[in-house]
Chain A
Amino acid sequence: MIRDASPADYAAIRAVLTAAFPTPAEADLVERLRAEGDARVELVADEGEGPIGCILYSPLRIERADRVLDCAALAPLAVSPAFQNKGLGGRLIEAGNERCRALGLCAIVVLGHPVYYPRFGFSPEAAESLDAPFSGRSFMALALEPGALTAGGKVHYARAFGV
């Protein structure tokens, strides 16, 4: 099942992230985002024995001439190696995106695998108009509010990203 992360899960989330990535950089990022109050949506996949997957969304602002859009950056997403290729990542993304929609956010931005994320509605085309530290086919976005990404704007990540 997919549920909200709680402080009791933090050690297990660190274990998932360090097992899924070759260095602790992603685990450190998550802890820094939390410490700075920027873990806006944090979910875990748990089949009864504690977290085996996790996803985090942090606040992302898109500044346009007419308004500032309240959006989210999806990063990181991880599933323990022993439980990969079973659709858990997809369930985390679907639940997380739904939560962002319920929060009234305008869009979600991700830097990720160019074949995987389009399955969940993300596309590099949607991110094309944005003025961001990234570009190319790995930099993708999903508009939750229709038309949110058609007028460009400057992207500001949470401080912990360091970009």
Chain B
Amino acid sequence: MAALRAWFAQQGFIEAEPGALTRAPGAETHIDAFETRGLYLHTSPEFAMKKLLAAGEEKIFFLGKAYRAGERGPLHAPEFTLLEWYRAGAPYERIMEDCVALVRAACNAIGADRLAWRDANCDPYAEEERLTAAEAFSAHAGHDLLGAAISSEAFSRLLTAHVEPCLGQTRLTMLREYPLSEAALARRCAHDPRVAERFELYACGVELANGFGELTDPVEQRTRLEAAMAEKLRVYGQSWPIDEDFLAALAYMPPASGCALGVDRLVMLASGATHIDQVLWTPPP
């Protein structure tokens, strides 16, 4: 944690500490939040961080706890440590570079020269692989992602079962350019309107980070949030309120890129842990 904070300090970032209690806990269709008395625990500090960007901050990071209900498994805990950072005025490629640098800084601090998970291991210092989602689905699931539309569930299932296990083998993989429907908070790619500026960093088949060229158009953002919440209602029978303050702030937010990284997972892979509980000081019951 000290190494990560030192890295951000060296880059001139300011640490932000948004409250964990919120009215609108996130934007994701497939994530569940803890609810209490009409408020939620944040699933990520994204909306609050973007309000800070709108207020004029240019380089901010959050390192703290986030909460996602119903997530329990070797790689999931309902309370976990999230690292989230934003750069105003920077392209999302810059954030990809940050991601790789942070993984290396963490490995360096721990003294790990390999990342390992189950049968896989990868070298964090080797130059990373960069694949578009369409290239990865074509190579590993035999599916033409941009040619034939599939449901969000099918995307998620194919990614889990067939694509992810092939990523981050021997070296880090940066998966990028997701279909628009899988990137509620990302802006469209200038070169292809079917895909958006979203990337995920994989090591040993495990997703470590998720980043975006941030969407700053409040009208399109509302449309996509409403679509994500409608899908949430259809699949899970519940949806979250739209954060109107966030949408209002978006009109003032400069172009920016940002990313969220699962710190527990990074520590697991660097230390050879086989279950997230091994790296949690007080694992939840």
Contacts and interface: CB of A to CB of B under 8 A. Distances in A.
A1 to B, nearest CB: 26
Interface string B155-178: 011111110100000000000000
Contact of A134 (B139, B142, B156, B205): B142
A22 B151 contact: no
Number of contact residues on B: which range applies? 20 to 34
Contact of B161 (A19, A32, A75, A139): A75
A29 B151 CA distance: 12
A62 to B, nearest CB: 17
Contacts of B206: 22
B142 A22 contact: no
Contact of A111 (B70, B153, B162, B207): B162
A25 B162 contact: no
Interface residues of A, number: 27
A84 to B, nearest CB: 8
B143 A25 contact: no
A25 B151 contact: no
Interface in A147-161: 160-161
A104 interface: no
B164 A138 contact: no
Contacts of A111: 141-142, 158, 161-162
Contacts of B70: 24
A25 B205 contact: no
B161 A76 contact: yes
Contacts of A28: 153, 157
Interface in B121-142: 138-142
A113 to B, nearest CB: 8
B148 interface: yes
Contacts of A18: 72-73
Given A21-B161, A22-B75, A29 B153 contact: yes
B241 interface: no
Interface in B163-214: 164, 205-207
B156 A23 contact: yes
A134 B160 CA distance: 16
B76 to A, nearest CB: 8
Contacts of B274: 81
A146 interface: no
A28 B161 CA distance: 12
B157 A26 contact: yes
B160 A25 contact: yes
A135 interface: yes
A8 interface: no
Contact of A81 (B74, B138, B205): B74
Contacts of A7: none
A87 interface: no
Interface string A81-93: 1000000000000
Contacts of A75: 161
B118 interface: yes
Given A21-B161, A22-B206, A81-B118, A138 B73 contact: no
B154 A162 contact: yes
Contacts of A35: none
Given A19-B74, A136-B139, A138-B140, 20 more contacts: A21-B160, A22-B160, A22-B205, A25-B156, A25-B157, A25-B161, A26-B160, A32-B153, A76-B161, A81-B74, A81-B274, A111-B142, A133-B143, A135-B142, A136-B138, A138-B162, A139-B142, A161-B154, A162-B153, A162-B157
30 contacts: A19-B73, A21-B161, A22-B160, A23-B156, A23-B160, A25-B153, A25-B157, A26-B157, A26-B161, A28-B157, A29-B153, A29-B157, A81-B74, A81-B118, A111-B141, A111-B142, A111-B162, A112-B162, A133-B148, A134-B141, A134-B142, A135-B143, A136-B139, A138-B140, A138-B141, A162-B150, A162-B154, A162-B157, A163-B143, A163-B151
Interface of A: 18-19, 21-26, 28-29, 32, 75-76, 81, 111-112, 133-139, 160-163
